[in-house]
Structure 1
Amino acid sequence: MRLNEWQLAFEAFLLEESTAAPPALSSSLIGGPTLGVDTGLAIYHNAYKARLLEVLRNDFPVIYHWLGDEAFDTLAGAYLHQHPSTHYSLRWLGQGFEAFIREYLVPEQSAPLSELATLEWAFTLAFDAPPGVPLTIETMAGFSPQEWPALQVKPRPSLQWLEQRFNSLALWRSVKDATDFPDSEALEAPQVCLIWRSNLLCNYRSLESAEANALNGMINQGWSFAELCAELAVIYGEGAPLRAVTWLKQWVHDGMLERLE
């Protein structure tokens, strides 16, 4: 058996459910005085599966806390069976977990659980995203009066925009803060949650609808600062410029935005 053939055979063995190695693979190996080939391969097979489950538990600790050992391992095992690891880095192992949950479970179960998976994965994406070039308060202080009306911004690469229909953030916070785990509940109205990285730390906050609409206009619809003020004038009248600059200052202070040149 050539090396590449042996590697493919070993990979196929690890991806199978059974710990029994095919004869062609086991016959290509030599056991030791205290550990036979089949036993050694079975140990390696189980260790590989255990490592993948460990990665998913670490990437989705709140779902793991919610479901418990047995239910989580059953769900994660089914996911790994349908979506075996294909990337050289385990960093991407959980990329399809949210979509799998939506398809695998009935809607009553999948809706809150998949939303929680999206939230947990968003922290992973934010942590690993490129830093970008954040707009700063100091930079804004140097703007000329002529620059302000045309000012446009874009989200930093780490910014994740989530629309939540359940109290997923409360569940996540309870595990992080080691407090009582609340029941999953539907929110009275959908809520926007932002997750981003600033100064090597992941941050999050929820937005009320008016602020969410304003930020969405700036980063997704390309509003300039003048257009933001015009949109807010419908609601806040003469107070629109103050409201606009207050929100913009907060977004910049939090490290969410870059200037769109």
Structure 2
Amino acid sequence: MMQLQTLQSAFQDALLQDRPLEPALLDARGVLQFGVYRNAYRARLRAALRDNFEVLPLVMGDEAFDALANAYIEAHPSAHYSLRWFGHQLCSFMRANEALVDHPALVDLARMEWALRQAFDAGTAATLTAAELAAVPAADWADLCFALHPSVQLLELQWAIGPIWHALKSGQTELDPPAALNHHLLVWRQGMNTQWKSLNTAEVVFVQGLLAGQHFGQVCGALAQCVGEEGAAAAAVALLSELLHAGALGALPSQPTEISKY
């Protein structure tokens, strides 16, 4: 039994470290069979990265993406029982290894794709309906905290990667170089479909307030800095309605939370 455990441990170590087994542990046939496992293991991890980042390999090309994947596998061996989560550090790895990435916009593209994957796998939660919102007395609105759906994420990006994503998803191969653009991207899931949208300044302020757990009155106050005092309430209601119809708002708490006076 100890001999089998020793062999299993050596097999695992050699597989993870991408090196051959000690010749004394296997006969010639075993060495050949291990080589098959050794190659298939990394091929499966590269395939998992291609599944988890669908558009990124299309932009980079097979050779460049495989070089990135191999370097990532070496630096971050799979440590989770599900390959669905393999690649969770790829964005930061790309940022730290610029030589493997032809353009910095690819980091933003990878971040967007991973956020879409996270949105798809996010937990389920009841969403707010128009009827439920209409039933809230006007006097209670200022004290309400509107929760966002668990799938909602807000990304701060530096490159306009949306057009590239759309083009490749639609099968186009001729791409314009990405433009530098500081902006925010909202990502969420509606039903079984992942969604994303680029936000303007007012929308960013509004969503950031909701993510921070601010009451609706506080969010309106922050929004007034963007659109002015007179239009803040109307703008907030319009933005709230848009999030509601997009399925990005969670159900209301049973009781409104009062703003502390202290």
Provide the TM-score with structure 2 as the length reference: 0.87
Give the match for residue 23 of structure 1. 23
Match of 1:239? 231
Shift of 1:231: 3.4
Q: Give SS of 1:191's match.
A: strand
Percent of aligned pairs sharing the same letter = 36
- Whether the 8 Å contact between 2:18 and 2:38 is mirrored in structure 1 is no
RMSD: 2.2
Q: Which amino acid aligns with 1:241?
A: A
Please list, as runs of the form range in 1=range in 2, the aligned pairs for 1:1-261 lying within 5 A after superposition.
1-18=2-19, 20-27=20-27, 36-106=29-99, 109=102, 111-187=104-180, 189-220=181-212, 222-234=213-225, 235-259=227-251, 261=253
Question: In the aligned structure 1, how far is the partner of 2:70 from the partner of 2:138?
Answer: 59
Please give the per-residue CA displacement for 1:2-57, whole angstroms capped at 9, x wherever unaligned: 44433322211212333x32235425xxx8xxxx2221111111111111111111
Whether the 8 Å CA contact 2:149–2:249 is kept in 1: the answer is yes
Contact 2:94 2:101 in 1 (8 A): no
Provide, for residues 42-95 of structure 1, a one-character-per-residue CA deviation record: whole Å limited to 9, x for no partner.
111111111111111111122211111111111110110111111111111101
Q: Equivalents in 1 of 2:3, 2:127: separation in Å? A: 52
Check conservation: 2:223, 2:232, Cα contact below 8 A. yes
Deviates more, 1:139-148 or 1:190-199: 139-148
Alpha-carbon distance in 2 for matches of 1:137, 1:24: 71
Name structure 2 gaps, 5 residues minimum.
Answer: 254-262
Alpha-carbon deviation of 1:226? 2.1
- The alpha carbon displacement at 1:223 in A equals 2.7
- Structure 2 distance, partners of 1:7, 1:137, is 59
Q: TM-score, normalised by structure 1?
A: 0.87
2:221 partner letter: A
AA aligned to 1:135 is L
- The 1-side partners of 2:125 and 2:115 are apart by 17
1:95-136 Cα offsets, whole Å, 9 max, x none, are: 111111111125984632221111111111111110123222
Distance 1:185 1:258 in 2: 34
Amino acid at match of 2:84: R
> Aligned residues, how many?
251
Structure 1 residue 182: deviation in Å? 2.1
Secondary structure at the aligned position of 2:110 is classed as helix
Change in Cα spacing, 1:224 to 1:4, as seen in structure 2 (3 Å) is same
For 2:146, the aligned partner's letter is: V
The 2-side partners of 1:113 and 1:260 are apart by: 38
Paired with 1:134 and 1:2, the residues of 2 have a C-alpha distance of 57
Gaps of 5+ in 1: none
In 1, Cα distance between equivalents of 2:174 and 2:66: 20
Partner Cα distance (1:44, 1:107) in 2: 26
Distance 1:79 1:62, change over 3 A: same
Relative to structure 1, is the Cα distance of residues 51 and 149 closer, same or farther in structure 2, using a 3 angstrom cutoff? same
The alignment partner of 1:257 has SS state of coil
